[in-house]
Amino acid sequence: MSSLTQPAAAVPGRFGPYGGRYVPETLMAPLEELERAYEAAKADPVFRAEFESLLKNFAGRPTPLQHAGRLSAHLAGPKIYLKREDLLHTGAHKINNAIGQGLLAVRMGKPRIVAETGAGQHGVASATVAAKLGLQCTVYMGTEDMARQALNVARMRMLGAEVIGVESGSRTLKDAINEAMRDWVTNVRTTHYLLGSVLGAHPYPTMVRDFHSIIGREAKQQILAAEKRLPTHLYACVGGGSNAIGLFHEFLADRAIKLVGIEAGGRGTHLGEHAARLAAAQGYSGARPGVLQGTYTYVLQTADGQIAATHSVSAGLDYPAIGPEHAWLADEKRAEYSAVSDTQALAAAKLLARLEGIIPALESAHALAGLIERLPQFSKDDLVIVNISGRGDKDMDTYARLL
């Protein structure tokens, strides 16, 4: 059986057959420069100390691991702990990666960052870090998303970022990524592309994972302190997959621990109605391996290979591809992936609000809904950590409308 870390180590940027660097020639040099800079930074104690200091003093780490007593009693299944990434500055895990890459831009001598954003959470995290580090910041955002997320557009502008509306394609996240890449190629001497999830060409999936792996390292220490044992299950929602791999990474080598990623099942299993890339076993159609935005992974596509439309009530999970490491973990059966519907996620959000006093992001509500769906499979001795990747403030319009 293949070791879980070996393929990535043997071929940098590969997770089994997935990952890699499928980009036009003009992007090869900047990606190689970034890879060298990241490798050097990772080994530099000064860089690591700066990263840890900002995580602690600016972002608010460590985040609590909270026992969800009323929720556990209500569900009468496993004992449930919540990893509270929602308590971080700007309201989600995304700030971990934004700080890491912001510091890297400074180290590379680049005074400007560009970023893409869907719901606006990654744009806000990037604009926040740019302000803190004195970097110029341009954020690309589909005009469809700008209309839906006006508050986050206002936050980015108040933080000093330039927000550029993207009118091409479906005017959502994947179109914003295309524009951010175009800007990067044109301005690469002065500009770093601050990609927001474990997607894109190498080194992004590895680098972004590393910046988020603090989530799992904290959670392991915290659960050992609280329970004197390791968890039996970890649950996280999976858009691109950064909060999930951030929690899972520290636990990968311990095969007894079940890792469960929950995708957006949207409003049905037909292509176009969901954003479930690894849930074919549940009947979700349209996902096959392919290349999107620089990486080889599972992609939702039509029969002739066009990128499919996706739907989720949660903007952060509404993307046609998945991080390549998740594709590999699924093939290896090291992690399990399944999808829950919009309706299940909304119900889970309401339950968490009423029982624990936490209004989660719609994305995070998917993780809890996935646990609830699998309740019959648990025993009383099971010990679960659910990653609450973000808070629900940004989703209050949706909650008010649909609940």
Ligand X SMILES: *Cc1c(COP(=O)(O)O)cnc(C)c1O
CB of 282 to ligand X, least distance (A): 19
Residue 389 engages ligand X in binding (rule: CB under 6 A)? yes
Residue 83 engages ligand X in binding (rule: CB under 6 A)? no
**What residues from 104 to 133 belong to the interface with ligand X (CB under 6 A)?**
121
Please choose, out of 13-21, 167-175, 239-247, 376-384, the segment that lies near ligand X by the rule CB under 6 A.
239-247
CA 367 to chain centre: 12
Q: Is 116 a catalytic residue?
A: yes
Q: Is 389 a catalytic residue?
A: yes
The single-letter code of the amino acid at 217 is R
Please choose, out of 7-15, 63-71, 241-249, 378-386, the segment that lies near ligand X by the rule CB under 6 A.
241-249
CB of 403 to ligand X, least distance (A): 18
Catalytic position from the list 35, 116, 144, 179: 116
CB of 236 to ligand X, least distance (A): 7
Please identify, using beta-carbon distances, which residue of 261 and 286 lies nearer to ligand X.
261
Residue 364 engages ligand X in binding (rule: CB under 6 A)? yes
Distance CA 206, CA 97 (A): 11
Please identify, using beta-carbon distances, which residue of 156 and 238 lies nearer to ligand X.
238
Q: Is 110 a catalytic residue?
A: no
> Using the rule CB under 6 A, which residue among 79, 94, 155, 202 binds ligand X?
94
Please identify, using beta-carbon distances, which residue of 205 and 286 lies nearer to ligand X.
205
Interaction site with ligand X (CB under 6 A): 92, 94, 121, 197, 237-243, 316-317, 361, 363-364, 389-390
